[in-house]
Amino acid sequence: MNRPVVGIIGNQYLLNDDYPVHAGGMMNSEAVAMVSNCMPLLIPSSPKLVDIEELMATCDGFLLTGARPNVHAEEYGDSHTEAYGEIDRCRDAITLPLVRACVERGQPFFGICRGFQEVNVAMGGTLDPEIRDLPGRLNHRMPPDGTIDEKFALRHEVTFSTDGPFQQLLGAQKVMTNTLHGQGIRDSGSRIVVDGHAPDGTAEAIYVKDAPGYTLSVQWHPEYNAANDPVSRPLFEAFGEAVHKWRASRSDA
């Protein structure tokens, strides 16, 4: 039997500084295939190439990945400046309405880093352009030097709400995570529940209240070492279970 399909939202890059490509990290595809037990399908995130209805008809669930470009500040009512960093309006045009449609229909998605921020913005929330510039906050950005393993090393605790979905899923109220982001949630969107925080108060884990499907999203990068990490693996396993159930419900319809 064919595995359910997880659409992995891709990003636009210039290969060798001159050849435009849509690409996605191998870690994401491996986590979806090997831990969630679904077929990864890279989505070229541009409204010129795909639309929301055909994406939802083709895919059973979606992985909203991290990316260097940020959500454009105009999407949450701010004026864009250099402080907000690189942007990708094409990805904004796909993921923001896709999140809202999935919430409405109960189709599962899992947001990571930029994807976590997209979920908040899609539901009416706002972002801070640079967490490390705020009083009392840590520097959550990727270390500039070191190997991949060093850059994705565990760096701070995340504390979850008592008896919330993350504590129930992971079996612990505190876990260690990596941290590789510059922006973060300023104001939570409508129905967004912040279920986990870093020691400096930065939102790290969210879900959409009363959504019929899987909407767990995290600010860190669980795709790294997902098959072996005791925090990452349950997140991708639970996401995969939700996607399999969605596929089954389609078959029964």
Handedness of CA 247, 251, 252, 253 (dihedral sign): positive
Active site residue 104: no
Tell me which residue of 81, 79, 80, 75 sits closest to 99, measured CA to CA: 75
Tell me which residue of 6, 11, 83 sits closest to 46, measured CA to CA: 11
DSSP labels, 175-225: EEE----S-EEEEPPTTEEEEEE-TTS-EEEEEETT-SS---EESS-TTTT
Residue 14: which residues within 8 A CB-CB, separation 6 or more? 20, 21
In 39-122, DSSP assigns E strands to 39-43, 61-64, 109-112
Active site residue 102: no
Name the active-site residue from 72, 140, 181, 221: 221
Name the active-site residue from 75, 118, 204, 223: 223
Number of Cβ within 10 Å of residue 47's Cβ equals: 14
d(CA 253, CA 3): 18
Residues found in the chain = 253
Token pair belonging to 192: 């967004």
Name the active-site residue from 38, 90, 102, 113: 113
d(CA 39, CA 103): 22
Active site residue 223: yes
The residues annotated as belonging to the active site are 113, 221, 223
